[in-house]
Structure 1
């Protein structure tokens, strides 16, 4: 069984607590992550303590905002190994979570995690944000979209805001370079119907890493022509 002492010791620094059952779920999640990582590349981070800090604790920093409330619908865009969507679900079982990723082998991994942890009201779907963001089953259906995906903010906004209902939020989990990205994203914010409500700086325990949570409120509906076709947001950002 995996060692998750670093996760346990880091929680108080983030003012977050987990129940013993939730700790066990993180342990099993890590076991599965390490097991699958030997077959397919899910994460470049392989050390127990590094997984705790850079995946688990980092994902849980989202609870430092006051936006993760009971019974809300959340979509995690470009979820990769399930971050932050699965940690959110482990910590708050009342949330309804959709994990979206463009790599099918990752989706197979996520489905096994969901199954083995016996998580309810969470599903992993394979596809691109540009496609699902135009699908009426998903478009403007979520209270919160969240992403730790590696793309500049002006591109992430086009991937994410179409999923968020008016009055909901997109939370972008970023590094310190975000302040330059915010400047470049002003046009995209205006076009897509978002405004920045607040920015949280969070220092990850046992590291010199500072991450920034950018909380963006959806103040008006996104025009129907967005998101543009697959690949377009990246090729010609707003």
Structure 2
């Protein structure tokens, strides 16, 4: 563990208005250790070097805290969470959110459970399902204040997969790369059909990185028609 890398993580978190106490930092360090260990036997991430994980996974995920969208007590679902980004960093930054992690691969669910329990989170819910199926389950449909996703699919597909989880008036927070503006253009039809509006495009500035990232924040204006999301695989094959 490099003190220089810890300092980068602390400064980055502080720049988003967070108070990076020892417990928060310890949780991120432990998370990275488990990620690297599991990554030896399953494909979770191409990024394993400490500095890179801290910046490109942890700070990138936590950057939404620069704004006040995430509040204590909110129910948040991370759709297609993979290695746990951004959901677990959200929970580390604010342990008082109610977090649900959804993924289609059971071995990833096992990894996520190991991470959360190892860093002291015993109140996280894990859903082993495809997003299309999870969003049609009455236990999860329109039950969340916020749905989030990172690097899962193109925006028209993501909107169809994620918006059905969100309550009317709730938010979809989407972490995107440099092509976000083009994806918004491509998603105009999906935005209209699914009854959402784009509230904000946030530019993410990461330490020592030239990569340009964006966070898109959408607000759900009306309840989702029962036919969305369509059955598994259809949103990818035929985006709205």
How high is the TM-score relative to the length of structure 2? 0.95
Q: Distance in 2 between matches of 1:209 and 1:85?
A: 21
How far did 1:231 drift? 0.1
Q: CA RMSD in A?
A: 1.3
- What count of residue pairs does the alignment treat as equivalent? 238
Instruction: State the Cα distance separating 1:12 from its structure 2 match.
Output: 3.5
Confirm or deny: 8 A CA contact 1:10 1:205 kept in the other structure: yes
Query: 2:98 pairs with 88, 96, 99, which one?
Result: 96
> Which of 139, 143, 149 is 1:137 aligned to?
139
Q: Which residue of 1 aligns with 2:80?
A: 78
Deviation at 1:16, TM superposition (A): 3.0
In 2 relative to 1, CA 23–91 (structure 1 residues): closer, same or farther, beyond 3 Å? Answer: same
**2:48 & 2:154 partners in 1: Cα distance?**
26
Instruction: Answer yes or no: is the 8 Å Cα contact 1:77–1:146 preserved in 2.
Output: yes
Distance 1:70 1:9 in 2: 23
8 Å contact kept, 1:78–1:149 = no
Residues 142-196 of structure 1 show CA distances to partners (whole Å, capped at 9, x for unaligned) of 0000000331100000000000000000011101201011011111011111110
TM-score by length of 1: 0.96
- Residues 76-134 of structure 1: per-residue CA shift (max 9 Å, x gap): 01111111111111111110000111121111100111111120321222110000101
Unaligned runs of 5+ in 1: none
Q: For 1:120-199, list aligned pairs within 5 A.
A: 120-199=122-201
Which residue does the alignment assign to 1:38?
40
Aligned partners of 2:18 and 2:93 also within 8 Å: no
Runs of 4+ in structure 1 off by over 4 angstroms are 1-4
Q: Deviations over 1:190-226 (max 9, x none)?
A: 1111110111111111211221111100000110100
Q: Pick one of 51, 68, 79 that aligns with 1:66.
A: 68
Equivalent residues in 2 for 1:205-220, closer than 5 Å:
205-220=207-222
Shift of 1:61: 0.6
SS, match of residue 114 in structure 1: helix
Where structure 2 has 5 or more consecutive residues not aligned to the other structure, the ranges are none
